[in-house]
Structure formats: C-alpha cells, structure tokens
A and B are shown apart, each in its own frame.
Chain A
Amino acid sequence: MNTSATYQTWRKAKNLIMSALSLACAVAVIAPLGLILFYLIKAGAGAIDWHFLTQLPKPVGETGGGMSNAIVGTLTLLALASILGVPVGVLGGVYLSEYGGERTNWWIRFGADVLNGVPSIVWGIVAYALVVVPMKGFSTYAGGVALGLMMIPLIIRTTEEVLLLVPNGYREAALALGISRWKIIVRIVMKTALKGIVTGVLLAAGRVAGETAPLLFTAFGNRFWTHHLRDPIAALPLQIFTYAISPYDDWHRQAWAGALVLILVIFLINIGVRTLTRGRFSEVAK
C-alpha cells in the first residue's frame, strides 16, 4: 500500500472533489423545483383568493373572476381519463406479470415504452381522430380519451413492476391450496401489491394532470361551466396557457395563480403517493 504523504493528500483531494461534484448535481436537481415553487408562490399566491377558486372567468376587459370551472374541469378530465386508463393499464400490467409469454411480453413492453415516449400532442391528434371527428365537435370525452390513452402505458409498466415484486412463493402457496388462478391474482397477488398499483395510478394521474397539448383540440377549453360531457370543458393547463399568452395583466396574474393551483394538485397527489408507499408490504390491510 502506498502510504506516502503526497499520495494520501491526492487521495483525499480526489475524495473531496467527487463529493463536491455529486453534491452540486444533487443541488442542481432540487434547485429548479425550489425556483419554480418560489416564483409561483411569489407571483401566484397573491392572486389566489376565494373568488379565484369559486368564480367563472370574467369577460374580456373586466378584472376579477376565477378559474373554478377549470379546476373542476381538470378533475373531471382526470376522472374520465382514469375510467379509461386505470382498468386497461392495470389489467395490461396483470397480463404482463401473470400470463403473457416471453415473446408477447417483449412486444407489449416495447410498445408501452415507445408510447411513453410519444409526444403528448400526438395523443391529442389521436383523440381528435378517434373522438372529435366522429362526434363532430370538441368534448370532455375527447379530452378524457386523450389523457386516458396517455395513462395506459404508464400504468401498465408500473403495475407490472409491482406485481413482479410479489414473491412467487405466495403464488405457489395459493396454488397449492387449490385456489383458482384468477382468484389468486385478484385476491392475493394484486392485494399484496395494492399500494404499489395505486401509487402507479396516482403517478400517472399526476403526470397527465398537467398536460396541455393533448387538450388543445380535444377538451378545447370553455369559459363557462360544462353541463354535459359532450361539450368542451375547461382545464387548468389550458386556462393557464390562454391567460399567459393574453395581453392583460390581470390574466397574467391569474395564470400564475392557476399554475400554483395546478402544482399544488400535483404536489398533493405526490404526497399521497409518498404516504401510501411508506411501509409497503409491512402492514396488514385488514
């Protein structure tokens, strides 16, 4: 072993440099989040008040008004998207983990990974062709389909991963009890992985909640309440987009507030995920 003083100094210096580098990278990861939050709160917090949360947008030229319809719209779209995306995604994940053969699985995984990388505007075009054109108009359905389609590949992969984490011993134990396959999957395997599955669903929901592009020519946006799912609907990202490119100061202010609300929604979803994933597999779901 080289114990000379120069070598030791050099070794310590290298250690210090590497530590500093990784610390710098860690800061670089966190810093944008801090900056975004700081900016959003600075610019948006002042604009969030009761009116913002409860009122409809005011006509052009009038100040005040709010984004209540967009908040409700985003939640409606998320619900619709989940109705489409969650069952297909979760069952697709179940197929990959429990049933599929190696070759089919490879293709499905490949497909899901490619779809995960498809630009979100393309999903908007797909929903436009699938829903808007046949229904002859922008609608909540179209927005829900666009977001739901985006959720599917995300949920498929997370569901598959958490199901594969369930030790095979449980499946074998259940098989040895003479329990039928689908009951084992639903009542034992999926139940064991439930938190993971829910986590995946929430992450996918959080991911699509902030999407603007797929909604541009599907949900389209609406300055009023939407009374039927056949009609266009407002959504926070759309509203933020519209307000941000407008020439009015009051709308800019509201765009900041909307962005803050959207970030808070996604934050809440993520906190929900964190709470759920804590102590996974360790406690009993009774």
Chain B
Amino acid sequence: MNVDLTAPQSKRESDPPVVARPGLALSAIPTKREMPSRATPVSEVAFEVSDLCCWFGQHQAVYDLSLRIPAKAVTAIIGPSGCGKSTFLRCLNRMHELVRGSRLSGQIRLFGEDIYGPRVDATLVRRRVGMVFQKSNPFPTMSVGDNVTVGLRLNGVRDRRVREEWMERALRMAALWDEVKDHLDRPGTSLSGGQQQRLCIARALAVQPEVLLMDEPASALDPIATTKIEELIQELKRDYTIVIVTHNMQQAARCSDYTAFFYLGRLVEYDKTEKVFTNPSNKQTEDYVTGRFG
C-alpha cells in the first residue's frame, strides 16, 4: 500500500475526532499576555510545511521541503549527520532564526496558523512547541521542582499551587514522579543522566505545549534509560504531537508512526514507519535503513 503522506489525515479516519487544543486543555492557566490563538485545529495536521528552505549564511541546509506532520502521532526524522534534520526541527519552533546569519523561506503552519507570520511572536510559538535537546540540560542553579516549574514561573504563573499541581502532573507524565517526589528540592543536576533527560521532558511539558520536538533525546543515554524514554514517547503521543530526530534507526522503527528520511537537505521519503523500514520506495532510503550507508 502506498500511503500519500502529503495528506496523512485522510488515512487516519479511524482516529478519534479532533479535540480543541491537543495536549491538555489548560486554558484556565492565567498568563500575562494573550497566547496566540489556540483555536480548534482545522484538521489532524499539526505542522504543514511548504517549500521550506534554510540557510546558514551562504550555506543552504534544507531544500524545498514540504510535508505534513500529523497531530497526536510520533513522526521520526532520520538521515545521516548534516542532512538538515536538526535544522528542520529547529525551524518548527523558530529556534533556527537564533543562529547568527541564518535565514529561511517557505511557510510553516501549526494547526493552520502561519508561525512565521508577520505578527506572530516567536516566544509565544515556542510556548506551544516545546523542545527536548540531545544533551540534557537542567538548570544548574535550580532544584528538581524548580526546574519543572521554571517555564510557568517565568511566564507569569504567579499562583504557587497551580505551579505545584503542574509540576506533579508534568513529572508524572515524564514518568519521573515516583523517583523524585521525595527530594524535589535537591539540585536538578544531582539526578542520573536518564533522569535528567526525563526532567527536561517534564520541564517542557509543564508549560503545556501542543507539540514536543525531540532532538536525539536518547543518544547520550544507556539502553535502559533509552527504553524508558521510548516508553514515555508512546505514552505522550496520546496527548501530544511528537517530532523526534534520531540517528538510531531501530529507535525510529520502534517508536514512531511516521518516518521522514532526509538526505543532503532534501526530503527523500516520508511515509508510515512500517512502510519506510520494510518496503521503502526510494533506493537511497533502502540503502540507509538497511545500513548500507550513513
């Protein structure tokens, strides 16, 4: 079966109807400024990327990329180093533009809204699109608890009770609560590597994003911690749209629903994960997933 992922929503009719604001309905959380509209998504497509090109100075890293990332599913992006997958990921939450000399063209819509629109505040986009990095980076001056609530605290949630409630929920979602609940005031950096990475996931979840971007979240972890992160991804996809960049093809095969293969800054193949790994339609994809290069 050849699934056309330029329109993934048509293939997922069996999914439950779309809820307003994927993720957790937390419109009750007061924020100082009005968030960008979190209106009902027009479809199950989370990101609609069209003709995306990215540059670092003179060097073009991503060429004419168009794809749709389905909501409440895990989309893996694979490809050899330097193929533009991290750059692409950082375009989705407007982190690419922070690099000096970087540029991009094309359009990215998040639930129908152009996140590069002229009146869109990048900071607010980043609240909707959380990110977990390759290297776990809990803030060294903060305790475990403060690390989770920092996003709420610095985004104007004054009510301590609300923050603590969300701290617990986020830590539970990140499957870390039971391990840390008795020492929430210990430094965040005192946790083990795997715990630190889950702490970072909890920190990202606490601000209630709609999408979670993960840039090789387990590449610095041992197999057991990796398994935990992968299990967590399976849990989280019920509520969140997840985009994960990984070098580990087994990981992509295990935990993603859709897989995009990038090569030299171009999208080579994008399909259901099963299809990409068992019956890729492109020779390059086949060579890559079977380990013949890259």
Q: List the interface of chain A (C-beta within 8 A of B).
A: 102, 167, 169-170, 172-181, 183-184, 187-188, 191-192, 194, 281, 283-286
A165 to chain B, nearest CB (A): 12
Cβ-defined contact, A173 with B187, below 8 A: no
Q: What secondary structure prevails in chain A residues at the interface with B? A: helix
Q: Which of A172, A176, A183, A283 contacts B154 (CB 8 A)?
A: A183
B contact residues around A102 at 8 Å (CB): 100
Q: Which of A178, A191, A284 is the one whose CB lies under 8 Å from B123?
A: A178
Complex contacts, B133 vs chain A, CB 8 Å: 169, 172-173, 176
Would you call B198 an interface residue if the criterion is a C-beta within 8 Å of the partner chain's C-beta atoms? Answer: no
Q: Which of B141, B155, B187, B189 contacts A179 (CB 8 A)?
A: B155
Closest to A169 in B: B137
User: Would you call B93 an interface residue if the criterion is a C-beta within 8 Å of the partner chain's C-beta atoms?
Assistant: yes
Inter-chain pairs besides A169-B137, A173-B133, A179-B123, 14 sampled, C-beta below 8 Å: A172-B98, A173-B131, A173-B203, A175-B123, A176-B204, A177-B207, A178-B128, A178-B207, A179-B154, A188-B139, A281-B140, A284-B142, A284-B189, A285-B141
Q: Give A179's nearest chain B residue, CB to CB.
A: B154
Given A176-B126, A179-B155, A284-B187, check contact A192 B95 (CB 8 Å): no
Query: Closest chain B residue to A193 by CB distance?
Result: B141
B56 to chain A, nearest CB (A): 15
Q: Is the CB of B155 within 8 A of A178?
A: yes
A176 & B139 in contact (Cβ 8 Å cutoff) = no
Instruction: Check if B127 sits within 8 Å of A173, measured CB to CB.
Output: no
> Would B143 and A286 count as touching, CB distance under 8 A?
yes
Smallest Cβ-Cβ distance to B126: which chain A residue: A178
Chain B residues, Cβ within 8 Å of A180:
123, 154
Residues on the B chain within 8 Å of A174, using CB? 139, 150, 154
Residues of chain A with a CB closer than 8 A to B207's CB: 177-178
**When chains A and B are docked, how far (Å) is the Cα of A94 from the Cα of B105?**
31
Closest residue of chain A to B127, judged by CB? A178
Count of A-B contacts judged by CB separation below 8 Å: 84
**A191 cross-chain contacts in B, Cβ below 8 A:** 141
| Interchain Cβ contacts under 8 Å between A and B, 15 examples | A173-B137, A173-B200, A176-B130, A177-B150, A177-B154, A177-B204, A178-B124, A179-B150, A180-B123, A188-B141, A191-B141, A192-B139, A192-B141, A284-B143, A286-B185
B30 at the interface (CB under 8 A from A): no
- How many angstroms from the CA of A178 to the CA of B126 in the assembled complex? 5
Which residues of the partner chain A approach B137 to less than 8 Å between Cβ atoms? 167, 169-170, 172-173
Which single residue of chain B is at the shortest CB-CB distance from A283?
B187
Residue among A169, A177, A187, A194 having the largest count of chain B Cβ atoms under 10 Å: A177
Chain A CB within 8 A of B109 CB: no
Q: How many B residues touch the partner, as a band?
A: 20 to 34
A117 to B148 CA separation, bound complex (whole angstroms): 46
Tell yes or no: B193 within 8 A of A by CB. no
Q: How far is the CB of A97 from chain B (nearest CB, A)?
A: 14
Top 9 A-B residue pairs of the complex, sorted by shortest distance between their CB atoms: A178-B127, A176-B131, A177-B151, A169-B137, A284-B187, A178-B126, A179-B154, A173-B137, A183-B154
**Residues of B86-143 whose CB lies within 8 A of A:** 93, 95, 98, 100, 123-128, 130-131, 133, 135, 137, 139-143
Closest CB in chain B relative to A190 CB, distance in Å: 10
Question: What is the distance, in angstroms, from B148's C-beta to the closest C-beta of chain A?
Answer: 11
- Are A176 and B93 in contact, with the CB atoms below 8 A? yes
User: In this complex, what residue of A is CB-closest to B151?
Assistant: A177
Least CB separation from A166: chain B residue: B140
Contact in complex: B135, A169 (CB < 8 Å) = yes
Residues of chain B with a CB closer than 8 A to A167's CB: 137
Q: Are A172 and B95 in touch, CB under 8 angstroms? A: yes
Q: How far, in whole Å, are A176 and B203 apart by their CA atoms in the complex? A: 10
Q: How far is the CA of A167 from the CA of B141 in the complex (A)?
A: 13
Interface string of B198-240 (1 = CB under 8 A from A): 0010011001000001000000000000000000000000000
CA distance A281 to B141 in the complex (A): 8
With a cutoff of 8 Å between Cβ atoms, the chain B residues found around residue A285 in the complex are 141
Question: Which residues does chain B contribute within 8 Å of A176, judged by CB atoms?
Answer: 93, 95, 126, 130-131, 133, 204, 213
| Cβ-defined contact, B123 with A173, below 8 A | no
In this complex, which of A167, A172, A184, A192 has the most chain B Cβ atoms within 10 angstroms of its Cβ? A172
Q: Is the CB of A175 within 8 A of B95?
A: yes
Residue of A nearest to B135 (CB): A169
Interchain nearest-CB distance for B134 vs A (Å) = 9
Q: Are A284 and B141 within 8 A (Cβ)? A: yes
Q: Max chain A CB contacts within 10 Å: which of B133, B137, B204? A: B137
Query: Inside 8 A of A178's CB, which chain B residues have their CB?
Result: 123-128, 151, 155, 207
Tell me the smallest distance from the CB of A170 to a CB of chain B, in Å: 6
User: Are B130 and A177 interface neighbours, CB within 8 A?
Assistant: yes
Residue in chain A with minimal CB distance to B124: A178
Residues of chain B within 8 A (CB-CB) of A177 are 126-127, 130, 150-151, 154-155, 203-204, 207
Set of chain B residues within 8 Å of A184, measured between Cβ atoms: 154
How close is A85's CB to chain B, nearest CB, in angstroms? 25
**What is the bound-complex CA distance between A284 and B135, given in angstroms?**
20
